[in-house]
A and B are shown apart, each in its own frame.
Chain A
């Protein structure tokens, strides 16, 4: 379907004041100089960097491929090569079917043209025929929700309307292969959800999708295969879970284990770790059982010493907590002098998809706080079921459960 062989893209990074454009005079004078003096001394002012190096992979029909990698790993370069915006330095890509790419929402919108005119312009630029656009016109307008502003120049549109119109047009493309860059990073959460859902629909129709996102959650839901790029090299290619694993391992997006020594004269913490289904996996699937184990040593009997945990979201807001003090019967056995291992069971279905911080908490009631942020773990939770209707985008939070009834 898409066969990539030995694909590389090389850029020159120029040093000194000379830039890569070069002025006409510089180029001419260098040409003249190099003609007379051989060109050795003029070529060492730049170095060559590979944005992509020797990529080889094959994408089959119907695959939904997620490309993951850090900033600068070459994700966008790869997409740009596949969409022919830039040409590779070496290698070959063979594509069997009609391909459309969406590197940006609303590419080629002209600010002076009206919404109606821009639908045609953008549609044609994205590769639709005039007939197709005419056919989908009403749907596009409805999807973007801009009926009232159809004859207003796009420059008067709000940025939200702009993005909605752009995506609405792209959503009605009818390619066999669709390439999508991080278009979802624009717009509000509502809009992102709508986009993801639409992508899911397109995917479930058996089309091939190549998708780049920093949001591992949406990649995991949408894709079945993954490409993990690291510094331009193909670090992983295969099932999406493996690629996401490899990526998150490198990103340190998690911290399932803390080891060290911290405390005061009353108590000393040695280890805190999360255990769940797999030791390999770098994230927790929502619904699986997670066990927190805390190793510590109580150095002297201290009345009213309390152990606990708090779960925080990425914005550093406390979402939930639990302390041994919460239950009258619990407190004492945890605080007996000597080495102890406390276990706490977390029901991960209580958390929506997202990334959470788990902080250990320990204090002497009304007297002293022993732990602040010193012992901290980090765990991402993702939804395992591949569903086309994505319920949550970027909203960490506590789930109230699903005990709904009809009466």
Chain B
């Protein structure tokens, strides 16, 4: 081999971003297998198996219908309230699972992190893939229910991939932040379940964001879930209201900020993971 040739690997205190991205590419097989591992393991030794992916949205939907639909009698803009809730539950369950699981994913992979190198980013990213699978199963449910009742707008639903992408990136950004912070501050393990509980009410899951008073709307829509959920409801049922576009744009901007900053923060702190885990 030519001595002058570019070295296979240079190890320095600070890895450059270019090399990091090259490493991500080199380890794509590891990513696939981590995702595959977690999918395989997820429902092992469970009686209901993948049916659990349906169980959570259905149960949550029933609770929402019983509590909010009957008692609070919230507006669902002419769509059946249960479907209205389910359309929001899909991204909500995806994102809340992502937050809960990625907070712990690095700690759970302790044995890998202290013994072998691969870009650590692959671990939280693989978590997204698993949750995407659960999400897809639950989405089929909505398509079936919506198709049977005839409430799906088959034209706007073509934009669904856009909202799914937005949800994925939002999930990824949150996952990067959550996992990198939790490894350093274990406080997050306690804080995160609470945040998720709180987030369910701070996001328009059981209600539509159109019931928020007008002068609070800008603040409310800083929650990036608001725009994602608005997108899902618009895609499925063509539910629209004046400030919907603003919500969507805010959500996209917040998502981009989260992903970019999360990527940089994760990459910067990744070097010391093995030391502090």
- B7 touching A24, Cβ below 8 Å: no
* CB nearest to B116 among chain A residues: A107
Contacts A110-B41, A117-B40, A121-B33; A24 near B11 (Cβ below 8 A):
no
- Interface status of A81 (Cβ within 8 A of chain B): yes
- Interface status of B148 (Cβ within 8 A of chain A): no
- A94 touching B10, Cβ below 8 Å: yes
Find chain B residues with CB under 8 A from A117 CB. Answer: 37, 40
The docked-state distance in angstroms from the alpha carbon of A80 to that of B272 is: 12
* CB nearest to A123 among chain B residues: B33
Among B3, B10, B115, contact of A92 (Cβ-Cβ < 8 Å): B10
- A108 touching B112, Cβ below 8 Å: yes
How many chain B residues sit at the interface, stated as a range, is 35 or more
| Proximity bits, B1-21, A CB within 8 Å = 1, else 0 | 101010111111111000000
Among B5, B9, B15, B116, contact of A87 (Cβ-Cβ < 8 Å): B15
Find chain A residues with CB under 8 A from B33 CB. Answer: 120-121, 124-125
| Proximity bits, A112-135, B CB within 8 Å = 1, else 0 | 110001001100111001100000
Count how many pairs of residues, one from A and one from B, have CB atoms less than 8 Å apart in the complex: 114
Among A90, A96, A112, contact of B7 (Cβ-Cβ < 8 Å): A96
| Proximity bits, B185-208, A CB within 8 Å = 1, else 0 | 111100000000000000000000
Find chain B residues with CB under 8 A from A121 CB. Answer: 33, 36-37
- Interface status of A27 (Cβ within 8 A of chain B): yes
Find chain A residues with CB under 8 A from B114 CB. Answer: 85
Question: A320 CB to closest chain B CB, in angstroms?
Answer: 43
Find chain A residues with CB under 8 A from B187 CB. Answer: 23-25
Q: Which of A98-106, A302-310, A369-377 contacts B (4 or more CB under 8 A)?
A: A98-106
- A24 touching B185, Cβ below 8 Å: yes
- B11 touching A93, Cβ below 8 Å: yes
Interface size for A (C-beta < 8 A) is: 44
Question: B140 CB to closest chain A CB, in angstroms?
Answer: 26
* CB nearest to A97 among chain B residues: B8
- Interface status of A21 (Cβ within 8 A of chain B): yes
The docked-state distance in angstroms from the alpha carbon of A97 to that of B275 is: 26
| Proximity bits, A361-375, B CB within 8 Å = 1, else 0 | 000000000000000
- B40 touching A125, Cβ below 8 Å: no
Instruction: Offer 17 A-B interface pairs, CB within 8 angstroms, sorted by A.
Output: A25-B187, A27-B185, A85-B115, A87-B11, A87-B15, A94-B11, A95-B7, A95-B11, A96-B1, A96-B7, A101-B116, A101-B117, A103-B115, A108-B115, A117-B40, A125-B30, A125-B116
Q: Which residues of A pack against B, CB within 8 Å?
A: 11, 20-25, 27, 80-99, 101, 103-104, 107-108, 110, 112-113, 117, 120-121, 124-126, 129-130
A82-B11, A85-B117, A103-B115 known, 11 other contacts, Cβ within 8 Å? A22-B185, A85-B116, A85-B274, A87-B12, A93-B9, A95-B7, A95-B10, A96-B1, A101-B116, A112-B41, A125-B118
